[in-house]
Amino acid sequence: MARLRNTLCLVAALLLINQKTATSDFLSPLFAPVYDNICKEVECGKGKCKAPSNTTFMYECECEDGWKQFDQHLKFLPCITPNCTFDLTCGEAASPAQPKPPPKDNITSFFDPCQWMDCGGGLCNSSMPFQYSCNCREGYSNLMNITTFPCLKQCALGMDCLNLGIPLSNSSSSSPPALPDSSKNQGLNLRGSSLWWITLCVSLAPWRILFI
C-alpha cells in the first residue's frame, strides 16, 4: 500500500512538471516580442541584463564585480548594493524606535515599489504607480548620484569603496531636494521602473494559468 502511494505521488509530480513545461512552451510564442526587447529597456544598476537561467522571470541581472543584489536568490533585482564597507548609521545620534506603520493589504503593497525599497537616509517617493525615487534628507545624497539608489552620508563610505569607482564625496548639485530630518522609510531594495513591474506581472502569468 505504501509503495503504491509513493508511486502515485511520483506520477503526480511528473505530470505537474510536464504541465508546467507544456504551458510555458505554449505561451512562449505569445511573449516572444517581450523576450526580445526586455533587456533593451530594463535597468540592472551595476549589472547586465541577460536571458534568465529559468522560466520564472523573463530576465535576470548579472552583477559586475564588486556589486550585488539585495537578495541574491532574486536574480531579477538590480545590482545596487556595493560590496564594500559602508555604515548607514554614520553620524547619527541614537533616537527612539519609530512606531511601525499599520499593515497594508498584501496585494496592494506588493505592487507598491516603496514596500521593496530601502532609501537609507531618505524618503521613498512613489507619486506615480510602479515608479519611485529616493528623496534624500539634509546631509544625505544618493549613492552614485542616481535617484533610485539609497541615500547615504559622505562619512558612510569606506575607503575600499574607491575600488568600485564610488567617490567618497557622494554629493552633486543635481541631487534631489532635501527633506525634513523626520522623513524616513524602511523596506527592501528594488529599482523604480514601470517596465520592471509590467515584466513581473507578465512573468507570473503562466503560473497563474496553472492554478485556474
Tell which residue, 104, 112, 149, 107, has the closest CA to residue 129.
112
Q: Which of 66-70, 118-122, 203-207 has the lowest mean pLDDT?
A: 203-207
CA gap 151, 138 in Å, rounded: 10
Q: How crowded is residue 85: how many other Cβ atoms within 10 Å of its Cβ?
A: 11
Cell of 7: 508511486
3-state secondary structure 141-199: EEHHHCCCCCEECHHHECHHHHHHCCCCCCCCCCCCCCECCCCCCCCCCCCCCHHHHHH
CB neighbour class for 156 (10 Å; exposed up to 12, middle 13-18, buried from 19): buried
Question: Average pLDDT in the 135-158 region?
Answer: 88
Cell of 163: 575600488
Range from 8-12, 21-25, 50-54, 181-185 that averages highest in pLDDT: 50-54
CA gap 180, 136 in Å, rounded: 9
CA gap 185, 125 in Å, rounded: 9
CA distance between the termini of the chain: 32
Q: State the pTM of this model.
A: 0.56
Helix, strand, coil: what percent of the chain each, to 5?
35, 15, 50
* Domain regions of the chain by residue span: 27-91+110-164
Q: Which residue has the higher pLDDT, 31 or 195?
A: 31
Decide: 190 and 116 in contact? Cβ < 8 Å. Answer: yes
Cell of 120: 537609507
pLDDT tens digits for 100-122? Answer: 455 455 545 555 667 767 788 89
